[in-house]
Structure 1
Amino acid sequence: MPVRKIPKNYRNVTGVHASEKSIGEAQFESTLERDFLTLLEFHPDVERFEVQPKVIHWEDSSGKQRKHTPDVLVLFKPDLKIKPWLCEVKYRSDIFENWPQYKPKFKAGIRHAKAAGWRYRLITEIEVRTPFLANCRFLTGFKFQKPKEQDIKLLLERIKHLGQSTPAALLAAIDPDKYAQAYLMPTLWHLIANHRIDVDLYQDLTMQSIIWSKS
């Protein structure tokens, strides 16, 4: 469970993010945290992540004991050999306005991460709110669906045969009937959301986007 008290702020929207990668519940305490968890859930390099993984104890300049609870620990796929990220997620305006207060806390986080062999990262809306996020938000509604295996097989076999296509062309190649295409479309987005069919998610995702077979 989160150990922080949530400050009253117009930006605070709390909840639990649906996740297959989270260690424990993927709780969020702001829309920015929610959006960052969405990116982690979809990013192919991320293997697991944990929300509020550590309480870091540190001493301020007056000798008073303080606590810092970073937002997320991100673990990457082992073959990539990327150090885990210990992340603090904040709006840039918040960092600028409260820098004297945050600076010693961030320094404590940097020391802790370095000792653990990790990297300490400040994540702001600049890194989070990108075209990639917009695509991930759209695909979230399809990622956890349970399509019929026969529909999955049909789409995967056809995209493998074509090698490269677009959502519109792939569906048309399977069936010219518009109703049949509409029926298969959620399964296609499900396969893209789960990286079983590839697409460049850093570009706007449309029916004319280039998609290709994983194999």
Structure 2
Amino acid sequence: MAVPAGVDQAGRCIELSYVDAVHERRRRPLRDCVTGRFEDVDPVRTFRWSRGERHFPGWYWSATTGRHVGFESWLERDRLLLMDFDPSVVGIGSQPFWLHWHDGERERRHAPDYFVRRADGSAVVVDVRADDRIEPKDAEAFEVTRLLCAQAGWRFERLGVPDAVLLANVRWLSRYRHPRCLHPPAAARLREVFAAPGPLMVGAEAAGDRLATLPVLFHLLWLQELSAEDMAAELLGPHTIVHLTDGVDR
């Protein structure tokens, strides 16, 4: 798809509207926003709950950001959880801005679902939609968003339904994502035990009382200081092989 009529490659006529750090609404040309920290802004849309609604909006506490990040559906929540688990992600903002453009007949706008900052400083604009729920107007908005994000030096991704096994494992580990689950003495023992690969439950018991060590073990798996074999192929269980992640000191 070509860039829409009325929008040129220099970014003129393309604008972003967003909520700034003092909670004021701003609207500026895209070319003036390329260095913006949109992972930190407030959402441009309100997350509303009402009876009979098909969508399930809510707030998810992110271990990456240390604050709540909004979602508008279970699928968005699932993708948010996986982004929170990704060690290359250092910032996540939901509904970060409205992207405005002109299609040659009228002004159009689209609010992407997430703005993600990666550890290397790069940015990714994310829309979440299942493959079988993309209408023609959605496909057009996603493609225009991809083209316009490229002008800003941002990558664009449209994410669908994630792998069910990986999601189930990460969802389980997310219960232990809060830093309160880290007990340094138990963590040190677990790192020593799993310096050599071994079964999850055997290692937990070798490190001490398993009721005390299991929450710490799951927290280290969430942090990816420990790794589990075949996270995308098998559900975590007592016999899952766990080992110290390469590059992590004992």
Task: Provide TM-score, normalisation by structure 2.
Answer: 0.71
Contact 1:73–1:85 under 8 Å retained in 2: yes
Tell me the equivalent position of 1:113: 149
- Aligned match of 1:199 in 214, 228, 249? 228
d(CA) in 2 for partners of 1:59, 1:47: 33
Tell me the equivalent position of 1:4: 45
Unpaired runs of at least 5, structure 1: none
Opposite residue 188 of structure 1, the aligned amino acid is L
The answer to whether 1:36 aligns with 2:79 is yes
Tell me the equivalent position of 2:60: 17
Opposite residue 151 of structure 2, the aligned amino acid is A
Tell me the equivalent position of 1:68: 110
User: In proportion to residue count, which structure has more helix?
Assistant: 1
Structure 1 residue 23 displacement after superposition: 8.7
Tell me the equivalent position of 1:138: 172
Tell me the equivalent position of 1:90: 129
Structure 1 residue 24 displacement after superposition: 6.3
Tell me the equivalent position of 1:172: 205
Structure 1 residue 141 displacement after superposition: 0.7
Contact 2:207–2:213 under 8 Å retained in 1: no
C-alpha change, 1:141 and 1:23, in structure 2 (3 Å) is: closer
C-alpha change, 1:3 and 1:174, in structure 2 (3 Å) is: closer
C-alpha change, 1:2 and 1:107, in structure 2 (3 Å) is: same
Percent of counterpart pairs with the same letter?
25
Contact 1:19–1:26 under 8 Å retained in 2: yes
Tell me the equivalent position of 2:217: 188
d(CA) in 2 for partners of 1:196, 1:40: 17
Opposite residue 176 of structure 2, the aligned amino acid is F
Unpaired runs of at least 5, structure 2: 1-41
1:135-169: CA deviation from partner (whole Å, max 9, x where unpaired): 11001111115243222222223323xx2112122
Contact 1:167–1:211 under 8 Å retained in 2: yes
d(CA) in 2 for partners of 1:190, 1:110: 36
Contact 1:87–1:120 under 8 Å retained in 2: yes
- Aligned match of 1:77 in 110, 119, 136? 119
Structure 1 residue 84 displacement after superposition: 3.1
d(CA) in 1 for partners of 2:46, 2:212: 45
Does the residue aligned with 1:142 lie in a helix, a strand or coil?
A: coil
Task: Provide TM-score, normalisation by structure 1.
Answer: 0.81
Structure 1 residue 202 displacement after superposition: 2.0
- Give the count of matched residue pairs: 200
The answer to whether 1:52 aligns with 2:91 is no
Opposite residue 43 of structure 2, the aligned amino acid is P
Tell me the equivalent position of 1:150: 185
d(CA) in 1 for partners of 2:101, 2:109: 6
